[in-house]
Amino acid sequence: MKLSQVATIRTRFPEAHFWIVRRGSIQRCGEPTRSYNPEHIGIRVERTDLLLPDYLFYCLAAIHQRGDWQRVATGTLSLVNIRVSDVRRIELSPR
């Protein structure tokens, strides 16, 4: 199941549960945050019966800390970005 099947994911989304830094340095890009910025990618979990927003926040923090976003980030020099479609394609699998 893809993340887009259980959550709404878009920019300019102040109603989101949390946001992912979309643009910045390679170290910050993809980092989840609780601070709203219209440029960040907002994630609002719609199917809370399947996935808790706080759990997803920490899962995405682990993805960021592992450096997984560095492989999909595009850009040059000190400014890179990830796309909303990259976040929507995240696969969720029960373990």
How does pLDDT run across 13-65, given as a tens digit for each residue? 999 999 999 999 999 999 999 999 999 999 999 999 999 999 999 999 999 99
Is residue 95 domain-resident? no
Is residue 37 domain-resident? yes
Range of the domain at 46: 3-88
Residue bearing tokens 């219209």: 38
Is residue 94 domain-resident? no
pTM of structure: 0.93
Is residue 65 domain-resident? yes
Tally of domains in the chain: 1
Is residue 68 domain-resident? yes
Is residue 66 domain-resident? yes
- Work out the pLDDT band at 94, boundaries 50, 70, 90: low
